[in-house]
Amino acid sequence: MSEQYTRRINRLMANLGDTTLASSRWLRAHGYSSSLVSRYVASGWLESPARGVYMRKGGRLLWEGVVRSLQLREGLSLHVGGRFALAWQGYEHYLHLGEGDVVTLYGSDRLPGWAAKLPMSERFEACGKGPFDLPALRFTSEVPDRQLADQGFVRRETSFGEGPIACSTPERAMLELCNAPPDAALIYEADALMQSMTTLRPRRIGMLLRHCNSIKAKRLFLALAERHEHAWLPRVPMDDVDLGRGKRSLVPGGRLHPTYLITLPGDLDEHLG
């Protein structure tokens, strides 16, 4: 084995860590040809958990490592948001982290095809850009925490200790969830989650409401917050928040909310448990 070969494989192994994935595209861009990667696989340095992506032989395939690779290595504008972001941050009334979880990813970039083919109990669901008109962000280490916070994101440490990944704060994640296709099940879930959200930040909510282009999501969020009489709700700055006009029907035969003019199921209390 030549000295140059040894240096290159050692550099790659150090760069990958135990949970990081590297796509064929990334490897080519960093000077690792397809034939060289094939040699690394044959020599037992690398393995391919799905076509088009590689990791260290014996590495751990974790959903957090996949997301971290998408954000930092692939440079994609994708973040953990909505339902899964709320579960990950402890809002688990209806949401339980365990076998078969769906990791909900939001952002302007497409999820690589290999992400859907990884042999994991979790699966990744691309939910699109979401309801906000804020400019797309990359989540590389060069982006400061303050810039992320200004759009309702936070860096959260992973369980494997190789660095954080970006996800929606509870304020943003809840609005992302409220933007999902409406049915009674969604509203029961959102209502149960909203009940426990006693410490949301009014100024952040106001900013997100101003930049949210979904009338339905805004009205549902505010109606549920009012229903649970959260102390932060009167302090939310509503200047320039567009709530649209007229009534919105979310569920057939529902009860019209008098303030936000959307129909909610009449049996919400029965589903809180």
Between the CA of residue 176 and those of 3, 107, 213, 240, 253, what are the distances in Å? 51, 11, 11, 20, 25
**pTM summary value:** 0.92
Provide the pLDDT for residue 97.
47
What is the DSSP secondary-structure string of 209-268? HHTB--HHHHHHHHHHHHHTT-TTGGGS--TT----SS-B-SSTT-EEPTTT-BEE-TTG
Share of the chain above pLDDT 90, in %: 76
pLDDT of residue 99: 43
Residue 151's pLDDT is what? Answer: 97
Least confident of 3-17, 222-236, 244-258: 3-17
Structure tokens at 95: 């949401």
The mean pLDDT value of the chain amounts to 91
Looking at residue 1, its pLDDT comes to 54
Task: Scan for tokens 């590297």, then name that residue.
Answer: 22
Helix and strand tally (H, E) in the chain? 10, 10
Cα atoms in the Cβ-side hemisphere of radius 13 Å centred on 230:
22
Tokens of 79: 């973040």
For residue range 110-149, what is the model confidence (pLDDT) as tens digits?
999 999 999 999 999 999 999 999 999 999 989 999 999 9
Does the pLDDT at position 252 exceed 50? yes
The confidence band for 268, taking pLDDT boundaries of 50, 70 and 90, is: confident
Which of 28-32, 46-50, 79-83, 151-155 has the lowest average pLDDT? 28-32
Backbone φ and ψ for 189, nearest 5 degrees, come out as: -65, -50
- Measured CA to CA, the distance from residue 190 to residue 228 in angstroms comes to 12
Q: Is the pLDDT of residue 152 over 70?
A: yes
266/41: higher pLDDT: 41
Report the percent of the chain where pLDDT is more than 70.
95
Residue 272 has pLDDT above 80, yes or no: no
Mean pLDDT of the region 183-204 = 93
Buried b (16+ CB within 10 A) or exposed e, 140-149: eeeeeeeebe
